[in-house]
Structure 1
Amino acid sequence: MDIAEIGPDDHARMTEAAGLAATVRAADAPGGQPIIAAHFAAAIAHPRPGHRVHHYTAAIDDRVIGYLRLDVAPENPGTASGELLVHPAHRGEGHGTALLDHALAVCRAEDRRTLTFSTIYALDDGPQRSGDGTRFLERHGFTLALDLVRRRLPVHTPDDAAEQRLWDEALAASGDYEVRSWTGPVPDELLDAMCRMDAMILTQVPMGDLDMAPERVDPARFRAKEAVLAAHRMTPVHTVAVHRATGEVVAHTRVDVYDVPDARHGHVLITLVDPAHRGHRLGLLAKLANLRHLREHHPDVTELWTANAASNAPMIAVNERLGFAPVERIGIHQRAVGGGPDV
């Protein structure tokens, strides 16, 4: 097996890696959130601002059967997060271990202390999932650091009366606030406020046992992130809640949709309410307003996917009231890199 890093112009290997990812997702999580191959390949070609990223393929006779991504954020130089995939037909042959050994060697050479990978596994009463990735990581010394539950919502089949009651409830509790929705880049007059909300994410969202420093976001970096999102063939759909008395943005939700003709789903990237303004149903109000904007302006999107920490009871309650149904778990596993060979 040959492990090779994907170069910035190696579009053929990017496409092969994307095809492998789609195959693995379909096999390991049938009926789950699909991989959009064009987006996956574009994300390889265009790293997020400030991130140091390596992408590798593993090939047998020049046919890609494995993929490895290592991503280091500028605020967390000691931690590499990533993805390790092996074609279902080639599992149990040592390829995953070879890719993991390669990942650990890269981390040691770059002085990374911790390595994290995510896997999909089944809910107790959910659809079947292979669980191969979870078992593989556990055998190699990884432990679960953050447990997430992924949920799905059909966009165009609401209970109109029930949704109207939720809307009325949220409006009644949020009289001091107004919502504003749009598609695409953040308006200039909201840019500083959105930088503040973006930087707040890792301080407010449950992170389990992951030790992650919050992101530092200024207007230049925010705009660079928007440009990369567009290069990834995605468009953000935003709603914010604005405090009427101060004009301050105090809640934000975002759904990303794909600029790919056959894509029919989007995913909720974040919903966040400033702690000083909680208790006014702002999360519910923003999510409902964003859903209505999505239906009107992106009618081809038929389902939404979201993932929440299993411990995030308040946001889970909001999502379940909106009709999001649990489908599967996502485990983020981590281990110390260590100084010697993997055993």
Structure 2
Amino acid sequence: MTITETVTVRPLAVDDDEELAEAQRVMRDSALLGRPWGKVPSLREFTIDMRKPSSSERLEPYVAVLEGQVAGLLLMWFPLHDNTKFTWFDLHVDPLLRQRGVGSALAEKAVERTRADGRTTALVEFHVPDDNREDHEYARFARRHGFTYANTEIRRILDLPVDPALLQGFADEAAERHEGYRIETHVGGLPEELRQSYCDCFNQLAVDAPTGEIDFEEESLTPQTYAEELGRMAEQGRTPITTVAIDPSGAVVAYNDLVTRAEEPAEVMQWGTLVRREHRGHRLGMAVKARGLQELARIAPDAKRVQTCNAEQNAHMVGVNEDLGFRRVEALLAYQRKLDA
């Protein structure tokens, strides 16, 4: 237990429905402050995340209590099979209780737990206005606590529906470049025969996508952990819409993941897109994105927006998104604190 002045930091009582609801409220109020496009897990989604352990990463949730009420939330992830020198954390403070040491107490807890677990780098991200990166209060907060800037991603939003003729035009143009590949979309998870090659493809994203000063290693998703994640998503009311490019050998060599949510059907997240290096130059990135959006229009006609993030320096994928009509709304700044330095 950590105490800073009148702020007490302790583990979140995950079996306490009332405290879970209060912690989720703090996260929601914090994440949506000044961000009308901001998205947070619903109470149902949040509860499942807090109570259902993952075999690939350990989640440690903490609350900051001020004058008897939950004033802040810290979520820490400890990867178990890859990138084990890192912790990731997400930090929220009730907007009505800021400037009272809550954020500082939670940041100190994150560093303390990273060090205690034998890890050397703590990572955190903050959403800030695109035109106010250096001097935003979150950037100043990160620097004040010993974190250094590491990378920038840009959040973009695509308003739906997209003109069907535009999507078909992009799909047709891409098809001229990827003869011999087939493009397929699967809802709710990939069939067994595609899961291993999808995992091989997915695991490359951490090392292929630009990450600035952060030195990630390849991830270790397996068909078993993929199935586990599908089960979690089903419980949460989330549905993956995965579009893949399959080469003549039958292997997945490119993918695009869209995710819908039963409790917020208007909002869709684009989680990841990757084309394996040896298969680039065939417009497979555009092919899987365009087909995914075509299938989304059919499967989820009530969807109004798609959100995604790309590294600022990822010119090719940014170009594909902009061609499709994504517009930029904010910056996502990554900071790291190396504890062995």
Contact 1:5 1:55 in 2 (8 A): yes
TM-score (norm 1): 0.91
Aligned length: 333
Whichever residue aligns with residue 68 of structure 2, its letter is: D
Corresponding residue for residue 275 of structure 2: 273
CA contact (8 A) 1:49 1:225 kept: no
Rate the CA distance shift 1:154–1:53 in 2: closer, same or farther, 3 A. same
**What is the deviation of 1:171?**
1.5
Amino acid at match of 1:167: A
TM-score normalised by the chain length of structure 2: 0.91
Question: How far is the alpha carbon of 1:152 from its aligned partner?
Answer: 0.1
1:88 CA drift (Å): 1.6
1:235 aligns with 2:242: no
| More displaced stretch, 140-149 vs 7-16 | 7-16
Alpha-carbon distance, 1:137 to partner: 0.7
Provide the C-alpha distance between the structure 2 equivalents of 1:304 and 1:92, rounded to a whole number of angstroms.
Answer: 34
In the TM superposition, residue 56 of structure 1 has moved relative to its aligned partner by: 0.6
Match of 1:64 in 2: 70
Aligned residue runs from structure 1 range 283-302, under 5 A: 283-302=285-304
The answer for the alignment partner of 2:256 in structure 1 is 253
Q: In 2, are the aligned partners of 1:57 and 1:65 still within 8 Å (CA)?
A: yes
Match of 1:216 in 2: 220
**Unaligned regions of 5+ residues in structure 1, if any?**
none
Which is further off, 46-55 or 180-189? 46-55
For residue 108 of structure 1, report the CA deviation from its aligned partner: 2.2
For residue 119 of structure 1, report the CA deviation from its aligned partner. Answer: 0.2
Paired residue for 1:148?
153
> Take 1:331 and 1:44, find their aligned partners in 2: how far apart are those partners?
25
State the Cα deviation string for residues 29-55 of structure 1 (Å, max 9, x = none): 422232242223332223433212210
Deviation for aligned residue 1:231: 3.4
Aligned 8 A contact 2:160 2:304 in 1: yes
Q: Is the 8 A contact 2:142 2:335 kept in 1?
A: yes
Matched residue of 2:126: which SS? strand
Amino acid at match of 2:50: I
SS class of match (1:9): coil
CA contact (8 A) 1:119 1:330 kept: yes
How far did residue 227 of structure 1 move?
Answer: 1.9
Give the structure 1 partner of residue 48 of structure 2.
42
Alpha-carbon distance in 2 for matches of 1:199, 1:107: 24
Change (3 A) 1:161 1:191: closer
Question: What does residue 92 of structure 1 align with?
Answer: 99
**Structure 1 residue 338: deviation in Å?**
5.7
Q: Which amino acid aligns with 2:25?
A: G
Q: Which amino acid aligns with 1:306?
A: T
Once the two structures are superposed, what CA deviation does each residue of 1:254-302 show, in whole Å capped at 9, x if it has no partner? Answer: 0111132x44211111111111111111110110111111110112221
Within a 5 Å distance, the mapping from 1:293-332 to structure 2 comes to 293-332=295-334
Runs of 4+ in 1 over 6 A off after TM superposition: none
Aligned counterparts of 1:271 and 1:132: Cα–Cα separation in 2: 31
User: Percent identical across equivalent pairs?
Assistant: 29
Mapped to 2, the partners of 1:250 and 1:78 lie a distance apart of 29
In the alignment, the residues of structure 2 paired with residue 229 and residue 263 of structure 1 have an alpha-carbon distance, to the nearest angstrom, of 15
